[in-house]
Amino acid sequence: MVHAARTIRRAVVTGGAGFLGSHLCEHLLARDVEVVCLDNFLTGSPQNLGHLTEDPRFRLVRCDVTDFVHVPGPVDLVLHFASPASPLDYLRMPIETLKVGSLGTLHTLGLAHEKGARYVLASTSEVYGDPLQHPQAEDYWGNVNPVGPRGVYDEAKRFSEAMTTAYRTSKGTDTGIVRIFNTYGPRMRPDDGRAIPAFVGQALSGRPLTVAGDGAQTRSICYVDDTVRGILAMAFAGEPGPVNIGNPDELSMLRLAEWIIELTGSSSPIEFIDLPVDDPKVRRPDTARAQRLLGWRPTVPSEEGLRRTVAWFAAQQEVAATRAG
C-alpha cells in the first residue's frame, strides 16, 4: 500500500553539495520545502548549489557531521547523504568514510530524534557486496568482505543501517532506509572514478575507454531524477525500509562503454584493464517493494538518461575550453 503524504516544511540534507545531495536540495525546494544543507566539501562542491544560493528558502552551512550537528529551529526531515560514494574517494579516505557512516549517522539520528523529524538514511546496493543472490531483494543479507578494500564503505553503510534501526526500535525515531543503486546524471565529478563519468570523459576527449576485466560484470543504472523521486517518496511516507531504489535495467560494463561511444560519436577504442579487488560481478535491484509500498518505479529510459548526461558533460568541457582559451 502507498502511505499518505506527510507535511514537510523544513528539511536538513547532509552531503547536500554532492552530486545526489544537490539534486535532492533542488527537488525539495521545488516542493516548497525550506532546505538547510550541511556539507564539509570533502567530495561535494558549492558550485553544485550555485543556482540555489539566492533562494531565501535555502541555506548552505559548512559542517562536518562527524564532529557535531546543531540546527536551530524546527526540522521535519533529516536526509543523511554525507559520505564519499565512489571507490576512488573511499579508498583515498577510508577513515573519513567509516566516521561519516558511524559518528555522522549517530549525530544526525540524534538531531532527528531531538526535533521529532522523519529521518532517511542513504544506504547503498554495496551492502549486498558481491552478491550470491540475483537480483538483490531487501531480505538478502549480502556477501561482504569486511577487510577488503571496499569494506570501509560497505561496512560503514551496514553499520549505519543497524544504528538507524536501533534508533527506530529503541527510541521510537521515525526512520527510513533507502538502498541506492548506481545513480548517474549531471553534476557527477568527471574524476570520481565511477564508470559513467569516466567513460563519457574518455569518449569526449578521444581517449581509450578503460573497461575493467572482460567487461562482463553488470550494473543497473538509474537516472538521478528517478532516484530522487524514489528517495522523496520514502521521505514523505512512513515506511522504515530498507527499500531498494534503482533501475532494474541491467547491462554489462562493456555494453555501457560501447553505448557511450555511440552516443558521443567518438572514435575512442576500448582498452581492458585489471579488475579491482572484490568488484561485484552482478548488480540488479528487485524493486517490487518500492513499487508496492511507495508507488515508485523509474521512468527515464537509460538511453535518454545517458543522452542528457553526455550533453551535460560536453557542455562542461566547452565551458572549460572557453575559459582556458
Domains of the chain: 10-183+222-248+279-299 (3.40.50.720)
Task: Give CA 259 to chain center in angstroms.
Answer: 23
pLDDT at 67: 95
Distance CA 287, CA 282 (A): 16
CA angle 130, 131, 133 (to 5 degrees): 170
Kindly report, residue by residue over 57-105, the tens digit of the pLDDT: 999 999 999 998 999 999 999 999 999 998 889 899 999 999 999 999 9
- Catalytic residue flag (residue 119): no
Crossing angle (nearest 10°) for helices 253-264 and 302-324:
60
Rounded CA Rg of the chain: 19
Kindly report, residue by residue over 161-212, the tens digit of the pLDDT: 999 999 999 999 999 999 999 999 999 998 888 999 999 999 999 999 999 9
Positive or negative, the CA dihedral 280, 147, 16, 166 is: positive
Positive or negative, the CA dihedral 301, 224, 132, 251 is: positive
Identify whether the C-beta of residue 243 lies closer than 8 Å to the C-beta of residue 178. Answer: yes
Residue 205 exposure: Cα atoms within 13 Å on the Cβ side: 15
Distance CA 227, CA 296 (A): 10
The pTM (predicted TM-score) of the whole model is: 0.94
Catalytic residue among 153, 167, 184, 223: 153
- Computed over every residue of the chain, the mean pLDDT equals 94
Does residue 4 register a pLDDT over 80?
no
